[in-house]
């Protein structure tokens, strides 16, 4: 039996295990490791893994694929620990929310006889831990695939195949590009959500305001309930990009303050109206990104995944659609015209 190892069995690692185990992948054993014995046992009982390993090295022994799903700060230690035990040609991937630092660690700490391909599923919840793991978490969501320029095609196809098996849509990009984009669409909202909550919570009138705070306040501050450990890791490993976007946010808020303070009523109305239309259009476009029904087909083996035949044919299908500029039914894909990098 071929083996996939998952190290870190929280929201993302546990959800990947559940989703892969209910996918078409056959004849694969899932070995899992997390720091706490209780988490390992829970993951096994929930069916996210088949076997709880006694340590990270034990989990990766004989593994064809290793998924590192720990907090970002734990990744270099994990890479160091597992490096001597990784089998020849093993494919390693991760799920970390930032990529440039992780790619540097992989280059530095992993042996040359394995292939690392970075990954980041654009799906999550504000709660963490195995208890909130969910097999459907990745359905219809983008999954960033970040290969080294010298990555082996089979290794890239393996990670594309994993993303596809969990119901996500693979999106290729390089690490710098990834970190600059997620700083805007994910990390800035996290900081803004936290700052908004802390600003209002620290007000002397909080007891009165809290009674009135309803869905709008809850929606906009939802991300402030995320794991502080993960938020800190994200800020440490993507500081420059986040600071860049925070500076722009401050300027944007000043713009709205000036509009509100000024006497140009039309300009104020236009600012709100334009954004309402643009956000509605964004949501309408996003809503169209639905996955097609899974074709009923026989299970695929890990060897198919590793050989890349199946994944390669899916990639070709996506590429053909990109070339004809028609998205394959229900699939998100990148525009051929890359947006200018914001710096």
Closer to ligand NAD by CB, 102 or 302: give it.
102
Closer to ligand NAD by CB, 57 or 70: give it.
70
**What is the Cα 71 distance to its own chain's centre?**
12
Closer to ligand NAD by CB, 73 or 246: give it.
73
CA distance 151 to 116: 7
Q: Which residues bind ligand NAD (CB under 6 A)?
A: 7-13, 33-36, 39, 69-72, 74, 77-78, 95-97, 120-121, 124-125, 128-129, 227, 230
Shortest Å distance, C-beta 171 to ligand NAD: 14
Least Cα distance to 101 among 244, 247, 234, 246 occurs for 234
Q: 281: burial class by Cβ within 10 Å (0-12, 13-18, 19+)?
A: exposed
CA distance 213 to 97: 30
Residue carrying the six token digits 């929930």? 46
Closer to ligand NAD by CB, 60 or 306: give it.
60
As given in the structure block, the two tokens for residue 337 are 């015209």
As given in the structure block, the two tokens for residue 44 are 């096994």
Q: Encode 101-138: b = buried (16+ Cβ within 10 Å), e = exposed.
A: bbbebbeebbeeebbbbbbbbbbbbbebbbeebebebb
Shortest Å distance, C-beta 255 to ligand NAD: 30
Closer to ligand NAD by CB, 96 or 300: give it.
96
Shortest Å distance, C-beta 281 to ligand NAD: 26
Query: Residue 6: CB partners within 8 Å, gap ≥ 6?
Result: 13, 16, 17, 30, 31, 32, 33, 48, 49, 59, 67, 69
Closer to ligand NAD by CB, 76 or 327: give it.
76
Shortest Å distance, C-beta 123 to ligand NAD: 6
Closer to ligand NAD by CB, 95 or 168: give it.
95
Shortest Å distance, C-beta 126 to ligand NAD: 7
Shortest Å distance, C-beta 321 to ligand NAD: 26
Shortest Å distance, C-beta 52 to ligand NAD: 12
CA distance 72 to 75: 5
Q: Which residues are paired to 120 by β-bridges?
A: 144
């Amino acid at each position: 039996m071929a083996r996939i190892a998952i190290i870190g069995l929280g929201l993302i690692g546990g959800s990947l295990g559940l989703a892969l185990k209910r996918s078409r992948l056959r004849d694969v054993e899932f070995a899992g490791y997390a720091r706490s014995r209780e988490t390992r046992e829970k993951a096994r009982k929930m069916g996210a893994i088949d076997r709880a390993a006694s340590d990270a090295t034990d989990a990766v022994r004989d593994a064809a694929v290793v998924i590192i799903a720990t907090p970002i700060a734990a990744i270099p230690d994990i890479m160091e620990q597992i490096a001597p035990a990784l089998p020849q040609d093993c494919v390693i991937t991760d799920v970390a929310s930032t990529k440039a630092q992780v790619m540097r660690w992989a280059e530095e700490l992993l042996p040359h006889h394995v292939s690392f391909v970075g990954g980041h599923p654009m799906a999550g919840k504000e709660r963490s831990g195995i208890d909130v793991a969910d097999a459907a978490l990745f359905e219809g969501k983008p999954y960033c695939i970040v290969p080294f320029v010298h990555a082996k095609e089979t290794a890239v196809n393996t990670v594309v195949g994993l993303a596809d098996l969990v119901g996500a849509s693979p999106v290729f990009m390089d690490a710098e590009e990834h970190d600059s984009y997620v700083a805007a669409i994910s990390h800035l909202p996290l900081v803004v959500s936290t700052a908004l909550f802390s600003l209002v919570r620290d007000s002397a009138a909080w007891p009165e305001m809290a009674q009135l705070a309803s869905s709008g306040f809850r929606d906009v501050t939802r991300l402030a309930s995320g794991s502080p450990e993960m938020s800190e890791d994200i800020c440490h490993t993507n500081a420059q990009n986040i600071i860049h976007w925070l500076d722009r946010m401050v300027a944007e808020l000043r713009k709205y303050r000036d509009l509100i303070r000024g006497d140009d009523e039309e300009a104020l109305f236009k600012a709100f109206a334009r954004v309402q239309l643009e956000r509605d259009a964004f949501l309408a476009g996003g809503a169209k990104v639905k996955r097609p029904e899974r074709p009923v087909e026989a299970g695929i083996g890990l060897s198919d995944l590793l050989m890349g035949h199946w994944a390669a044919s899916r990639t070709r299908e996506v590429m053909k659609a990109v070339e004809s500029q028609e998205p394959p039914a229900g699939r998100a894909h990148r525009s051929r015209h890359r947006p200018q990098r914001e710096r």
